[in-house]
Chains A and B, each alone.
Chain A
């Protein structure tokens, strides 16, 4: 997983300085957010559908071992090959070996967050293979050496003018910020890539256990090209992407596009059921599915397993006031927003992301937005608990909490300290403070702090109204 040396606060400062990027993020997340609300309003029984989707996810994750084996059996029967990868390194080795065995030199990729998670491209390129991202956003990110800032829309932080400049510089075409001209340029370049590629690598939105089917939800059609034109197709799939039946898939497909972009249905929902069969006009001769653990099975055992229900719709990002304020790059991992603040430490370890669980006000907008009702605030709270238990909390926090617990343990101490604070506030003549020392200065940089009352409510009411 992509961890960075810089601290969260440093990354946040950088993000807040990029006003231009933040405006793009706010405009785009606004559109997704209101689109989702409208789409769900128009869906009859949306709430019941979400409850059902959650039940399906909970059931599947609880029996993940059974369904994964069922999937393997079904997919193998279709003539495909299943590979099991414990960690990122194993995935990279497996994909590289498949490519080398098949004599592959050119690879076309469709959008996949799990391949970002395991840094697949760098490993393939290091082995001398040419890898081209074909999702428009990922293509732009790859051209400009950028990282995805959103689960669904990787270059959400860029404007069409930014894209025009990138195309002009990297593809040596005349500058344009006309969207249809920009997409025509990309289409022209990518068509060559699709036709020349020996291998397609895709992610997987859902894998159906009973049929061995891989489902890809896309809007650009590139996913269909990547999975049908090259002679080898490799699916890299997080091990939690399973749904038991085609019927369950139907439920998920009603919720995913609506929650993601506000579409009733994405432009494409491709169901790929095995490699080429006799009579198929064209389809890959070889099809592989690499099932990726990379920390997921460890999460299954603890009280954070609910995060594996996630269907990567990104509704929580679009709803989150923190994401909307700082954008995706500030999170420092591949996954951003509320789900990223949970999944990054769950997969990559809390030590690599000790501050991420704190990048939330616990306002609950994410929980409201989640199509499968993942209780993200509670998961963030549990991660904060783990941070303290693992000794990853800063010393000033530990000292502050200790002192505060000492004061509030018994009323006598509390009364004494609050009386003292009240007396000190009288020295400040009851004015709101605009400066406080140490870590408390973080408060007064943006806010004044109120004076303590000369007499607390409880002191004022002593002798009356108590039991």
Chain B
């Protein structure tokens, strides 16, 4: 029986626990034993991206400590947090004799959720059915940071009844950028408006993605303007499709 450790990420933990539950449900449905190591906080990405690398290291050390003592894959249902652990932790502790090797070992275990399903478990068809029309938003850190695009698309393509509608310029950033959304709200808001226009032009029911932070940003914009369109994490869509 395959075993994984789940890094839940602070946004899913505190704002969208239902998405976390869906990740567990899908993995357990596929016979995976899921453990959630105790004491997780934030990966440190917001501090890192804002230039506060010392503070980012504090959070990174906590994460490294929490996941020590196992060789199981660390599944992360958020491309940008996965990229943080995989690419930035080794860079943050490059010259650290203690945490450096541990950061590199941790990075080697990181596996984004859809990557784990498709590339490790070799599953694309979960036997799901879900009658909705969706547009897939390939979040930048999932797409470019982790190189993941084919995996979520394959999973969605296998869902019965699901209509996937392509949007214009699909690889365009939604304007979230973490700290950027608060530091540069005018640019971020304009980029979001442009992206929402592209989503709404498809007439789809839902925007689906692999990164809860971008989805939070997009849904926040949709709600603010009174749109009926909603967002959904891919794990939630798959979990609903299993029911």
> Which residues of A are interface residues toward B (Cβ below 8 A)?
8-9, 12-13, 16, 321-322, 325-326, 355, 357-365, 367-368, 381, 383-388, 393, 397, 401-402, 404-405, 407-411, 414, 418, 421-422, 432, 434, 439-440, 442-453, 455-458, 460-461, 465-467
Please tell me which stretch of B98-106, B129-137, B157-165, B183-191 contacts chain A, meaning at least 4 of its Cβ atoms lie within 8 angstroms of it: B183-191
User: In the complex, what residues of B have CB within 8 A of residue A448's CB?
Assistant: 219-220, 223-224
17 interchain pairs, CB-CB under 8 A: A12-B187, A321-B172, A359-B184, A359-B187, A361-B177, A363-B140, A365-B172, A381-B48, A381-B49, A401-B47, A401-B50, A408-B41, A422-B14, A440-B182, A445-B189, A455-B17, A467-B35
User: Do residues A325 and B182 form an inter-chain contact, with CB atoms below 8 A?
Assistant: no
Residue of A nearest to B218 (CB): A447
CA distance A458 to B186 in the complex (A): 35
User: Do residues A12 and B224 form an inter-chain contact, with CB atoms below 8 A?
Assistant: no
User: Do residues A457 and B223 form an inter-chain contact, with CB atoms below 8 A?
Assistant: no
Q: A361-B175, A365-B140, A411-B40 are in contact. List 7 more A-B contacts (CB 8 A).
A: A322-B191, A363-B144, A405-B52, A418-B13, A422-B14, A447-B217, A448-B220
> Which residues of B are interface residues toward A (Cβ below 8 A)?
5-6, 8, 10, 12-17, 20-21, 24, 34-42, 44, 46-53, 55, 58-59, 62, 69-70, 140-141, 144-145, 171-173, 175-194, 216-217, 219-221, 223-224
CA distance A386 to B52 in the complex (A): 9
Do most interface residues of chain B lie in helix, strand or loop, or is the interface mixed? helix
A409-B62, A457-B13, A457-B21 as given contacts; A12 in contact with B186, CB under 8 Å: yes
User: In the complex, what residues of B have CB within 8 A of residue A367's CB?
Assistant: 144
A467's partner among B37, B171, B186 (CB-CB below 8 A) is B37
User: In the complex, what residues of B have CB within 8 A of residue A362's CB?
Assistant: 49, 140-141, 177-178, 180
A12-B186, A445-B189, A466-B37 as given contacts; A409 in contact with B59, CB under 8 Å: yes
CA distance A325 to B52 in the complex (A): 27
User: Do residues B52 and A388 form an inter-chain contact, with CB atoms below 8 A?
Assistant: yes
**Shortest distance in angstroms between B143's beta carbon and chain A's nearest beta carbon?**
8
User: Do residues B13 and A363 form an inter-chain contact, with CB atoms below 8 A?
Assistant: no
User: In the complex, what residues of A have CB within 8 A of residue B194's CB?
Assistant: 325
User: Do residues A460 and B17 form an inter-chain contact, with CB atoms below 8 A?
Assistant: yes
User: In the complex, what residues of B have CB within 8 A of residue A460's CB?
Assistant: 17, 21
User: Do residues A447 and B224 form an inter-chain contact, with CB atoms below 8 A?
Assistant: yes
User: Do residues A325 and B180 form an inter-chain contact, with CB atoms below 8 A?
Assistant: no
A418-B13, A450-B219, A466-B37 as given contacts; A361 in contact with B173, CB under 8 Å: yes
User: Do residues A358 and B183 form an inter-chain contact, with CB atoms below 8 A?
Assistant: yes
User: Do residues B36 and A458 form an inter-chain contact, with CB atoms below 8 A?
Assistant: yes
User: In the complex, what residues of A have CB within 8 A of residue B189's CB?
Assistant: 445-447
